[in-house]
Amino acid sequence: MDRRGLVPRRAGLCLSILAAFLFTFPNISFGETGQDGETTSPVATNGEPFPWDKMRLPETVSPVHYDLLIHPNLTTLDFTGTVQIQLEVLQETTVVVLHSKDLQISKAEFIESSRIVPLQVLEYPAFQQLALMAEGITLAKGSRYALHLEFAANLSESFHGFYKSTYRTPEGEVRVVASTQFEPTSARAAFPCFDEPAFKANFSIRIHREARHISLSNMPKVKTVQLPNGLLEDHFDTSVKMSTYLVAFIVSDFLSVSKTSQHGVKKIDQADYALEAAVSLLDFYDDYFDIPYPLPKQDLAAIPDFQSGAMENWGLTTYRESALLFDPKKSSASDKLGITMIIAHELAHQWFGNLVTMQWWNDLWLNEGFAKFMEFVSVNITNPELQVEDYFLGKCFEAMEVDALSSSHPVSTPVENPAQIQEMFDDVSYDKVVFTGACILNMLRDYLTPEAFKIGIIRYLRRYSYQNTVNTHLWDSLTNICQSDSLDEGRLQSGFCSQGKSHSPASKWYTDDELDVRSMMDTWTLQEGFPLISVEIKGREVRLSQERYLKSKDPTQSASFLWQVPLTYITSQSSTVHRFLLKTKTDILYLPEEVEWIKFNVDMSGYYIVHYEAGGWDTLITLLQHNYTALSSNDRASLINNIFQLVSHPHPSGSVWWVMVFKSPILPLSIDPTSVGKVPLDKALELSLYLKRETEIMPVTQGLSELVPLYKLMEKRDMEELENQMKGYIVNLFRDLIDRQTWTDDGTVSQRMLRSYLLMFACVRGYQPCVATATELFRQWKESDGNMSLPNDVSLAVFSVGARSPEGWDFLFEKYRNSLYTSVKSRIKSALSISPLSHKLKWMMEQSLEGEVMKTQDLPYVVVYVSKNPKGYKHAWDFLRANWERLVKKFDLGSHSIAHMVVGVTNQYSTREMLEEVRGFFGSLREETGAGLRCILQALESIEENVRWMDKNLHLLQTWLDRQGPQARAPAPTGA
């Protein structure tokens, strides 16, 4: 029994992040359509009628146990297998329908007692289904049967199913790894199965391999048998009940290191830091959930080719190398933070998602939102030095950017076919499902209190262990937590329930017996968007109103929306957090005395933004200019965000410092500007002036995130004079703070990350003191042939300056090719992509597509990096169009990689000409090549909003910058 994470026989490294999904959904008929428009029965590949016409499987039989044998051949790059599925018959039926994708079925038969019955196999590829039947055979309700199937297929060339991955040893030898990625709908590409999350079963897995390889699966290996043909057969212990998307197996020549957690779970990982972090986090979750980790081991495996960041397969979590491998001498502070957060996310899934699973994919947020939320809870306690509380706010801002579009959707949203399910994992939906889910859970936790929230989620996990859930199961578990049941015995004696809550006289906070958690939270999960709260102070009265915040002006999309909003606020007279539950369109709260200012949404704990009417913004701007520390850094950051959203305003769109903040392969998406128009642009810019004195990471990075997109739009319009005015204003705004940065790795994690953002920004913008230092450090590093140790947190700035010349670019690329450290390779790749050498940018994209020198897994991020570069954005768009069909084949329709490229490449366009060009290309696609993808709708909406924003605000921006004088006229070189 061991718990291990793996590492290939080399000192390689890399970087990234992951996803998952959930909910029940009614069956929809998708039969063939005849000439008269009538829906007809589907037809199998042999021309016979296919006996099932729905995308969802029938509920006539349910799998109980899979006995699976897999034999991958890493030389011929194919695999064979057999599976015996024990079935329980729920309704009398003559046919069994299950999933299969691109598998060659060579034998199918029922086994009942000693009787073996050959089965007819009908295939319907459009639904990825098999129908199995035999003349005269009826399966009786309540009986059990064994279904035996033999199959074969090629190892996938994509990143899904049972696929081929490769890596190169230090000696140059290419080695093959066979690994799985089944979420959401790709287990069916590895073995015939009931590939829906509600069909949970136990799995007994055997794997054939050569002696030079090892194999891994969800459970510990119990024995190895020598076969007559020289192969070995590994037998793995029978798993707990789980969904097919959590099944995993790997055949490789990986090495491993191990350690045992306090709770006795043996663990093997690849790098010492990840190993220590995983043991600590697993012990934390054991204690926090008060439910022991159900398996005897937990492997963490670094996969050389991996599309997302990580995957929570039960007992065998898989990662990009960059998401797991850490070297304290080569990795930055943000590397450490990112790796810890990803491990925390995947281990949280072992309870949220694996132990308790969504009924269907439309409730994906029950898995992903909880895992994202628990990242921050767990890392804050196990690794307080990482200061994760500084970054949760940024995730909520990202979610709101997606949620402010008319193309947004509810957290719980209907999905049906595999492409729609896959889209739940794209950038658009994943931000919504994961970050919005995490943010509304944080809001609910703040509302109920952390102790009550914890009791409720423990109740939820205990009630539904090894089962599937929907939204209402969670809300019911969080309601009436003080009414003890057998699950809570011993937990409610701490005094929480007897103490109750204290309420200020002005509060309309509802007590436990009055609170309907389900009614409240349905308003946040079953309707899209989020509320804008408008506040007006009249003496002691605070007049409140709510409406949907939407970047477009279409009132039909917001009129019927209403939330139950748990408001929090502080005032100039009281730093105590006061609370008020707004359940109607308008309401009034009464203060005990008149106040100079009021700040709602304390520390941005709620998922809403606030507009301060009738001079309210002027009062807060004055406060920031004269006494900004009267508000917390999160309150300051939220004011910056809110006022620019009320202008409205373009999003950072993958600016370099966001890459460094979250270390995710998925860059934040630009949702870009529109005409919300609650606040004029010059008022938002007036608020930004206070940033000259700001020193905290969240307000500084939020300020950059709001201001930089203003000139990014201009870069695509050849407006060099105004563009450089804006760049000069931002550089001057942060000049003093930049000058105080040292070129070291000293300080707290937040201080180090802030240093990285500021120096990177300053160097790319051509701030001469920064460029001079970076140039000298690059010269020394180059003369040492890359052997000189650069401070990790500032090396990206150094590399970016070095990549401006052809000689420096070529030197960096050679170091990229030969480096064994993933974190170093990641920083070099980013620097190469923001070089002004346009022919090099084109070459990078081409090489990433081929996958020999640069991994194809990184192609989406290379393309998007290049698209942000003023010297590369046209090349990125041309590349995307020219290679569209290859990209769709490699990354799959609806995948986050496709969505990331579609939105990332286009979301800084702001001309009508580019809008029509983008609309024309995507409008020419067929359904099978991507027509109608949600990301295309978002891309077009973003460009439309950019055009409107530029038309409305360019003159205002020019006038305001002119008033700032020469300080806003510093020239800046071209660059990303």
Tell me whether strands 232-236 and 202-209 are parallel, antiparallel or unpaired.
Answer: antiparallel
Three-state secondary structure call for residue 704: helix
Whether the bond between 72 and the residue before it is cis, its omega within 30 degrees of 0, is no
349 is in an annotated binding site: yes
Q: Give the side-chain half-sphere CA count within 13 A for 35.
A: 0
Tokens of 374: 């628990």
CB–CB of 17/307 below 8 Å? no
Question: CA 810, CA 456: separation in Å to the nearest integer?
Answer: 57
> What are the DSSP E strand ranges found in 583-720?
586-590, 598-600, 609-612
896 is in an annotated binding site: no
Give the helix/strand (H/E) hosting 737.
helix 735-739
Tokens of 75: 């030389």
CB–CB of 23/363 below 8 Å? yes
Question: CA 326, CA 14: separation in Å to the nearest integer?
Answer: 9
Catalytic residue among 196, 346, 416, 723: 346
Neighbours of 839 (CB within 10 A): 10
Bridge partners (DSSP) listed for residue 214: 252
Residues 6 or more apart in contact with residue 774 via CB below 8 angstroms? 759, 763, 794, 797, 798, 800, 801, 802
Pick from 52, 24, 42: nearest CA to 415: 24
Residues 6 or more apart in contact with residue 912 via CB below 8 angstroms? 947
Question: CA 924, CA 936: separation in Å to the nearest integer?
Answer: 12
Question: CA 844, CA 834: separation in Å to the nearest integer?
Answer: 11
Tokens of 437: 């889910």
CB–CB of 492/379 below 8 Å? no
Question: CA 293, CA 279: separation in Å to the nearest integer?
Answer: 12
Residues 6 or more apart in contact with residue 637 via CB below 8 angstroms? 393, 604, 698, 699, 701, 702
CB–CB of 618/633 below 8 Å? no
Pick from 293, 209, 202: nearest CA to 253: 209
C-alpha triplet 919, 921, 927: angle, nearest 5°: 100
Tokens of 677: 């128009």
503 is in an annotated binding site: no
Q: Residue 493, exposed/middle/buried by CB under 10 A (0-12, 13-18, 19+)?
A: exposed
Tokens of 565: 């909003």
Phi, psi of 541 (to 5 degrees): -90, 135
Pick from 50, 41, 86, 113: nearest CA to 193: 86
Helix extents (H) in 663-696: 681-688
| 346 among known catalytic residues | yes
Residue 414, Ramachandran bin (φ over 0: left; ψ between -120 and 50: alpha; else beta): beta
Bridge partners (DSSP) listed for residue 468: 357
What sign has the CA pseudo-torsion 106, 110, 116, 120?
A: negative
DSSP of 256-309, one letter per residue? EEEEE-TTS-EEEESSHHHHHHHHHHHHHHHHHHTS--SSSEEEEEEESS-SSS
Pick from 298, 239, 238: nearest CA to 267: 298
Residue indicated by tokens 């969240």: 698
CB–CB of 648/752 below 8 Å? no
Whether the bond between 648 and the residue before it is cis, its omega within 30 degrees of 0, is yes
Residues comprising the binding site? 345, 349, 368
Residues comprising the binding site for Zn(2+)? 345, 349, 368
Give the residue numbers annotated as catalytic, written as ranges.
346
